[in-house]
Chain A
Amino acid sequence: MILTLSLTVVGLILIGLYGLLAVRNLFKLIITLQILVKGAVLALVIAGETSGRLQLGQSLAVTVIVADTVVAVIALALAVQLKQQSGTVDVGRLDTLKG
Chain B
Amino acid sequence: MTLLTLIWLPLLAAPLIYLAGRLAGRAREMALLALLAAWVPFGLLVTARGNAAASFTYGAITLQWDGLALLLTLTALGLGTTVTLYSFWQMAAEPGEEKYYAMLTALIGTMIGLGCARDLFNLWLWFEAMAVTSYLLVAFYREQPASLEAGVKYLLQSAAGSVLVLLGIALVLAETGSLDLAPLPPESSFLLRLAGGLFFIGFGVKAALVPLHTWLPDAHAQAPSGISAMLSGVVIMAGLIALLRVLTLLAGDGPIWGWLLLGFAAANITLGNLLALRQTQVKRLLAFSSLAHMGYMLLGLGVAFLLGSRAGAEGSFFHLLSHALLKGAAFLAVGAFLTIFHTFTQDHRPLLISDLAGASHRFPLVALVLSVAVLGLGGLPPLVGFMSKWQILTASFASQNGWIIALVLLAALNSVLSLAYYTPLVNTMYRHKPAAAFAQATALPISMTLPLALLALAILLLGFWPGLVQGIVNNAAGALFP
Q: CB within 8 Å of B: which residues of A?
A: 13, 16, 20, 26, 29, 33, 36-37, 39-41, 43-44, 46-48, 50-53, 56-57, 60, 63-64, 67, 70-71, 74-75, 78-79, 81-82, 85-86, 91, 94, 96-97, 99
Do A94 and B166 have beta carbons less than 8 Å apart? no
Q: Which segment of B37-45, B170-178, B375-383 sits at the interface?
A: B170-178
Q: What string of 1s and 0s marks CB contacts (under 8 Å) between B115-153 and chain A?
A: 000000100010011011001100100111110111111
Known interface pairs A33-B160, A51-B173, A75-B159; A97-B221 also in contact (CB < 8 Å)? yes
Asked whether A99 and B279 contact (CB < 8 A) given A33-B160, A36-B160, A94-B149, the answer is: yes
A78-B152 contact, Cβ under 8 Å, with A43-B167, A50-B174: yes
Contacts of A82 in B (CB 8 A): 145, 148-149, 152
Closest CB of chain B to A56's CB: distance in Å?
7
B278, CB-defined interface residue at 8 Å: yes
Query: Would you list 17 pairs from A and B whose C-beta atoms are within 8 A, ordered by A residue?
Result: A20-B160, A26-B152, A29-B156, A33-B156, A39-B163, A44-B169, A47-B171, A63-B125, A67-B128, A71-B159, A78-B139, A78-B148, A78-B152, A85-B144, A97-B149, A97-B153, A99-B281
Counting chain A CB atoms within 10 Å of each CB, the highest count among B142, B163, B167, B177 belongs to: B163
The answer to whether B166 touches A43, judged by C-beta atoms less than 8 angstroms apart, is yes
Q: Do A96 and B132 have beta carbons less than 8 Å apart?
A: no
Interface residues of B (CB under 8 A from A): 121, 125, 128-129, 131-132, 135-136, 139, 142-146, 148-153, 155-156, 159-160, 163, 166-167, 169-171, 173-177, 179, 217-218, 221-222, 275, 278-281, 284
Docked pose: A79 CA to B281 CA in angstroms = 27
Question: Given the complex, which residues of A lie within 8 Å of B156, measured CB to CB?
Answer: 20, 29, 33, 75, 91
Q: What is the bound-complex CA distance between A51 and B173, given in angstroms?
A: 7
- Inter-subunit contact B167/A40 (CB<8 Å): yes
User: Contact: B166 with A40, CB < 8 Å?
Assistant: yes
**CB distance A47 to B173 under 8 Å?**
yes
Contact of A91 among B152, B163, B169 (CB under 8 A): B152
Q: Provide the residues of chain B in CB contact with A75, threshold 8 Å.
A: 152, 155-156, 159
B207 CB to nearest A CB, Å = 19
The docked-state distance in angstroms from the alpha carbon of A60 to that of B170 is 10
CB distance from B169 to the nearest CB of A (A): 7
> B136, B148, B159, B174: which contacts A33 (Cβ < 8 A)?
B159
A26 CA to B175 CA, complexed, in Å: 36
Question: What chain B residues lie within 8 Å of A67 (beta carbons)?
Answer: 125, 128-129
Nearest A-chain residue to B350, judged by Cβ: A97
Could you say which residues of chain B place their CB within 8 Å of the CB of A48?
A: 173
Q: Which residues from chain A contact B279 at a C-beta distance below 8 Å?
A: 99
Nearest CB in chain B: distance from A85 CB, A: 5
